[in-house]
A and B are shown apart, each in its own frame.
Chain A
Amino acid sequence: AQKITQTQPGMFVQEKEAVTLDCTYDTSDPSYGLFWYKQPSSGEMIFLIYQGSYDQQNATEGRYSLNFQKARKSANLVISASQLGDSAMYFCAMREADRGSTLGRLYFGRGTQLTVWP
């Protein structure tokens, strides 16, 4: 079964509008972390935001916020006030803390290509 599911292959948003990128996850581990990465056309992986499973509040980093709904196992990324430079591929990922055999590896979704238009 997929650990991370991103159901939106592509999303379009107008500049200055907010956009939500969906991510659902699957784990039986009570302790885990959720990540979002941005990959621009230049190819590097840029860390955006992190949410721990025990964190009480939704994570925020500037214009990025993570809408964490634990019971629904969802971790959607919200980008407020989109900019042209936000056009990129976005990956959701998860790390399971208590499974010793996985030793901190990340499980990735297939990504969402976001296009911001003027």
Chain B
Amino acid sequence: DAGITQSPRHKVTETGTPVTLRCHQTENHRYMYWYRQDPGHGLRLIHYSYGVKDTDKGEVSDGYSVSRSKTEDFLLTLESATSSQTSVYFCAISESRVGYEQYFGPGTRLTVT
């Protein structure tokens, strides 16, 4: 199994508070991705990174920011959490932007009350 961890695994927070989710990999893969999963929507891309300090937006990036200061860590921040950001968040990593490898972390279940 690819070495990907996410922390925390579960979090409950209040509306308006900032929240940071962490994705950590031990594979030294270049590409990292944050997706959110909601019923009826599958997984949708929030942000992605193609190297240290190189990040870009996906299709549901509003209200989220990311940072990647080291190859192994990709942080997702909800600047001011809203109830619509209640979701399951998955991190994924890939060595290449082509081919069959895209490994997923175990997910973080976030509830915003």
Residues of A within 8 A of B (CB): 4, 31, 33, 35, 37, 43-45, 47, 50, 52, 91, 93, 95, 97, 102-106, 108-111
Contact status A43-B50, CB under 8 Å: no
Decide yes or no: A104 and B97 within 8 Å by CB, A44-B104, A95-B102 being known contacts: yes
For residue B3, which residues in chain A have a CB less than 8 angstroms away from its CB? none
How many Å lie between the Cα of A58 and that of B102 in the bound state? 20
Residues of B within 8 A of A (CB): 31, 33, 35, 40-45, 48, 50, 56, 58, 88, 90, 92, 94, 96-100, 102-104, 106-107, 109
Among A52, A93, A97, A111, the residue within 8 A (CB) of B97 is: A97
Contact status A47-B103, CB under 8 Å: yes
Among A31, A37, A95, A103, the residue within 8 A (CB) of B48 is: A103
For residue B40, which residues in chain A have a CB less than 8 angstroms away from its CB? 110
For residue B48, which residues in chain A have a CB less than 8 angstroms away from its CB? 103, 105
5 further A-B contacts with Cβ under 8 Å, apart from A47-B102, A104-B96, are A43-B107, A44-B106, A97-B97, A108-B44, A110-B42
Residue of B40, B92, B104 with most partner-chain A CB within 10 A? B104
For residue A108, which residues in chain B have a CB less than 8 angstroms away from its CB? 35, 42-44
How many Å lie between the Cα of A52 and that of B99 in the bound state? 7
For residue B31, which residues in chain A have a CB less than 8 angstroms away from its CB? 103-104
Decide yes or no: A43 and B88 within 8 Å by CB, A31-B98, A104-B97, A104-B102 being known contacts: yes
How many Å lie between the Cα of A103 and that of B50 in the bound state? 7
How many Å lie between the Cα of A103 and that of B98 in the bound state? 8
Decide yes or no: A111 and B88 within 8 Å by CB, A35-B100, A103-B31 being known contacts: no
26 pairs of residues in contact across A and B, judged by CB atoms under 8 Å: A31-B98, A43-B88, A44-B106, A45-B43, A45-B104, A45-B107, A47-B100, A47-B103, A52-B99, A91-B43, A93-B43, A95-B97, A95-B98, A97-B97, A102-B97, A103-B31, A103-B56, A104-B31, A104-B98, A104-B102, A105-B45, A106-B43, A106-B92, A108-B35, A108-B43, A109-B42
